[in-house]
Amino acid sequence: MKLETLINNTPESPGRIFWKGFKKNKLAVCGTIIITALFIIAIFAPVIAPYDRDAINTKEILTPPSKIHLMGTDELGRDVLTRIIWGSRVSLLVGFVAVGIATIIGIPLGALAGYYGRSADGLIMRFVDVMLCFPTFFLILAVIAFWEPSIWKIMLVIGLTSWMGVARLVRAEFLSLKERDFIQAARALGGKDVRTIFRHILPNSLAPVLVNATLGIAGAILIESALSFLGIGIQPPDPSWGNMLTAGKDNIEIAWWLSFFPGFAIFITVMGYNMLGEGIRDAIDPRLR
Amino acid sequence: MVKYILRRLLTMIPLFLGITIVSFLVIHLAPGSPVTIQTDLNPKMTAEARERLRKFYGLDKPLHIQYYNWVKHLVTLDLGRSFSSDGRPVLDKIKERLSITIFINILSLLLIVLVAIPLGIFSAVYQNSLFDRSTTVFVFLGFAIPTFWLALLLMILFGIHLGWLPISGLKSINYEYLSPLNQLKDRAAHLLMPVLISAFGGLAGLSRYSRSNMLEIIRQDYITTARAKGLSESKVIYKHALRNALLPVVTILGLSVPGLIGGSVIFETIYAIPGMGQLFYSAVMMRDYPLIMGELVIGALLTMLGNLLADISYALVDPRIRMR
């Protein structure tokens, strides 16, 4: 090999290596396309939606899918497709905010437990154990019902009850990273704890957190739709895929389309995030396949 | 071993207290009170009568006293009386609902174990085969399907269009007049969809988990050693690898208990099954504090029991655990 080629071949940055692996991964690309499409739909909902979201039409109650109403109409004669398009806003918002909250709580707790060990670790991990022993869904149900459901409360409560996974993950990463030579070196050079944690350890432990967060969004969307389905999530007339399914259940013997389409929307969205999460995981660490 | 179990039981006590404290705070710090819900619609209600009701329920005392009283009763296995108009002991109310929920959950756990583990193991052994690929796709879809949606779809297909299965309740109206054999059939028909639905989430999760576990084990040195010394492939897989791959699966089963209990709210509401989940839902709606606390406590106890059983069986098969 010539000297020039050697010199010109600067090593690839981690970001580029990740991007290369990501592009090749069919799952990740599919996931990205689905999620992007959903964002476009959610942002441009008022433009895309064929009908008025809340317009009640007593002449067209529970009409099956047709050319006029592609996904039929509901028990008040509202267009199902229009309401599904508007409902995407709820799902996207809930997913991101809830997981954001969980990550913001989980990272510092996991970092503290993993870095300092001893009593900090003991205390934090016991608290994690307590939270893991709850039938979480029961707890969420009680809290939301008591505090009068609203989208912000739902996101907050889902976030507050789902940070344990992040904390455990970050803790495990910290436990193994802090013994590594480059961290030991940073400490030996007299680096402060705060700097070691945020500058040296945390960036190296973010990959699994990112995967976990992507999959967590899917989980949060499922919980929100289940709550709305049970009537204690997003309240009608605001459309969410979950509360549309409630109408589907009430009319299950006469209107299958009311049950089918909103659920299908949840399914596709959740699958999109799962694909993206798995794709990122593969791109980061091909061994895990 | 006895020592291990004792130690494990002792650590459960602070855990349990922690759970009750969190539940108590969450419930009692919420705005509004059960008294308002019960009296809102009654125009004759006076402020004094409301105060009397508060006193009657013990809600006028400071929070830590209320908690202390609640724990004091709990020690004698008394979960208090329900706030609802029948005023029955919480424990009785839960008891009559508990068995059906546990029964369905045990059936679905059995189903999960019997289907998911072989699925995962075979996928791993025949990695990248057609079987493995189709299982992977199935599992992937399974993760994304909301169970309540699947429940509705099954109801539409099997309950309404085909008319094979009943869509709600635990037994038919004419149940009492059926012969014992037909009674059994009737029960089974009513339970089929709920069990399937409650098992569904765990099915995908566990088969995926046992697959990745098995894959990891197959790559271990001792498996290579077993092959090198000339053991038949089936002996290597089903004797040496399988046992080690199944170990962590036990723990996951223990951890899946809270999910199953939480899920019971959903499938019991959909299929109108009078179990714990449905009871909890109505307790929440009526702000029946003692009943909610009772349910959370029982749920947490079941979870801890699941974890304990998992840990014990893990320790039984893996001596390394007992040492720690």
Angle (nearest 5°) at CA A164 between A110 and A184: 15
Which of A135, A137, A143 is facing B26, going by the closest CB pair?
A143
Q: What is the mean pLDDT of residues A159-182?
A: 89
Q: B25 near A134, Cβ under 8 Å?
A: no
Dihedral angle, C-alpha B118, B121, B126, B128, nearest 10 °: 110
**Of residues B165, B170, B151, B148, the one with CA closest to residue B99:** B170
Residue type, B195: V
Tens digit of pLDDT for each residue in B117-139? 999 999 988 888 899 999 988 88
Which of B149, B155, B303 is facing A133, going by the closest CB pair?
B303
Buried b (16+ CB within 10 A) or exposed e, A82-111: bbbbbbbbbbbbbbebbbbbbbebbbbbbb
**Of residues B183, B157, B155, the one with CA closest to residue B170:** B183
Q: What fold does the segment set A14-288 form as a domain? A: MetI-like fold (1.10.3720)
Which of B29, B94, B152, B252 should be substituted to probe chain A, the one whose Cβ sees the most A Cβ atoms within 10 Å? B152
Dihedral angle, C-alpha B68, B72, B78, B82, nearest 10 °: -20
Q: What is the mean pLDDT of residues A248-264?
A: 90
DSSP state of B176: G
Tens digit of pLDDT for each residue in A62-115? 888 988 888 888 888 888 899 999 999 999 999 999 999 999 999 999 999 998
Residue A120 tokens read as 């900090």
Find the DSSP H helices in chain A. Answer: 3-8, 14-24, 26-43, 45-48, 80-116, 118-133, 136-146, 151-160, 164-177, 181-188, 193-195, 202-229, 241-250, 256-284
Label residue A155 by pLDDT band (50, 70, 90).
very high
Would the CB atoms of A271 and B140 count as touching at under 8 Å?
Answer: yes
Which of A141, A142, A263 is facing B149, going by the closest CB pair?
A263
Would the CB atoms of B284 and A146 count as touching at under 8 Å?
Answer: yes
Tens digit of pLDDT for each residue in A35-48? 999 999 999 988 88
- In this predicted structure, the answer to whether residue B181 has a pLDDT above a threshold of 90 is no
**Biggest alpha carbon distance in chain B?**
88
B-chain residues near A123 (CB < 8 A):
none
**Of residues B152, B155, B167, the one with CA closest to residue B273:** B167
Give me the DSSP letters along B9-28: HHHHHHHHHHHHHHHHHHHH
A-chain residues near B14 (CB < 8 A):
126
The larger pLDDT score, comparing residue B5 to residue A284, is at B5
Q: B264 near B281, Cβ under 8 Å?
A: no
pLDDT of residue A267: 95
Q: A135 near B300, Cβ under 8 Å?
A: yes
**Of residues B225, B200, B47, B231, the one with CA closest to residue B138:** B200
A–B CB contacts, 8 A cutoff, strictly below? 130
- The CB-based long-range contact list for A181-189 (8 Å cut-off, 24+ gap) reads none
| The most confident of A51-60, A263-272, B32-41, B74-83, by mean pLDDT | A263-272
Q: What are the φ and ψ backbone dihedral angles of B81, each rounded to 5 degrees?
A: -110, 145
Q: A69 near A81, Cβ under 8 Å?
A: yes
- In this predicted structure, the answer to whether residue A287 has a pLDDT above a threshold of 60 is no
Average pLDDT, chain A: 86
Q: A41 near A85, Cβ under 8 Å?
A: yes
Which of B143, B292, B307 is facing A142, going by the closest CB pair?
B292
Tens digit of pLDDT for each residue in A1-37? 566 665 666 666 767 777 777 777 788 899 999 999 9
Q: CA-CA distance, A209 to A218, in Å (whole number)?
A: 14
- The CB-based long-range contact list for A236-239 (8 Å cut-off, 24+ gap) reads A237/A54, A238/A90, A239/A53, A239/A83, A239/A84, A239/A86, A239/A87, A239/A90
Report the half-sphere exposure of B271 (CA within 13 A, side-chain side): 37
Helices B90-125 and B257-270, interaxial angle, to 10°?
A: 110
B141–A contact, CB cutoff 8 A:
yes
B-chain residues near A134 (CB < 8 A):
19, 22-23, 258, 296, 299-300, 303
A-chain residues near B31 (CB < 8 A):
146-147
- The gap from C-alpha B163 to its chain's centroid, in whole angstroms, comes to 29
Q: What is the mean pLDDT of residues A141-170?
A: 88
